[in-house]
Amino acid sequence: MGAAKEAKEKVVKEFKEKLSKSQSVIFTNYSGLTVENDMNLRRKFKESNAEYKVYKNTLMALAVKELGYDEAIKYLEGPTSVAFGYGDPVTPAKIIVEFSKDNKGIEFKAGIVDGKVIGPEEVKKLSELPSREELVAKALGSMKAPINNFVFVLSGMLRGLVVALNAVKEKKENEA
């Protein structure tokens, strides 16, 4: 087997492993990015338990076909980068949307989320969803609210008792 073929098989295997362990995978067109912007984008992904890479389209097509994502092959044309989200599925889409506000040259092509291939519009909608941390914070806030209300009611009752006892004390002092 030739060295080139072994190298290609290694890349396909690597891509398949990353695809299999990812919560979400986003394919983008990166044709307008500068090298500096590309490095900044990679840094943002690394900070967020995600990864941003560029592979050859033919090798990605082999990998997605082997994993049964045949629908994704049509999006693997032209300059294509891929973002892997290992933690929160919305993180890669959010990073790309946030990055594209200040830097032109990157746009969604497609994605794979929960084993389903989605188009660019669905990826855009994915980026608008709250992150896992936001959802946990909202859930905790919702659970905390009844407890806070209960404490507030109890403190109001205690305040009322203190006011009543103080009034009784003042009345007895005035009578004496």
Task: Give me the number of domains the chain comprises.
Answer: 2
Same domain, 89 and 40: yes
Alpha helices (H) in 67-131, listed in sequence order: 91-102, 120-128
| Selected residue with higher pLDDT from 156 and 52 | 52
Same domain, 16 and 86: yes
Same domain, 31 and 109: yes
Same domain, 105 and 139: no
Domain that holds residue 162: 130-176
pLDDT tens for 61-79 read: 988 888 888 888 898 888 8
CATH number, position 112: 3.30.70.1730
- 54 to 51, 59, 164: CA distances (angstroms): 10, 11, 74
pLDDT of residue 27: 92
Same domain, 115 and 143: no
Rounded average pLDDT over 122-148: 68
Same domain, 104 and 119: yes
Same domain, 98 and 123: yes
Same domain, 105 and 29: yes
- 11 to 16, 52, 74, 81, 82: CA distances (angstroms): 9, 15, 20, 14, 14
| Selected residue with higher pLDDT from 94 and 151 | 94
Same domain, 54 and 109: yes
| Selected residue with higher pLDDT from 30 and 138 | 30
Residue 58 has pLDDT above 80, yes or no: yes
pTM exceeding the 0.75 threshold for the entire prediction? no
Q: What percent of the chain has pLDDT over 90?
A: 4
- What burial letters (b/e) apply to 132-150, b meaning 16+ CB within 10 Å? eeeeeeeeeeeeeeeeeee
Residue 119 has pLDDT above 70, yes or no: yes
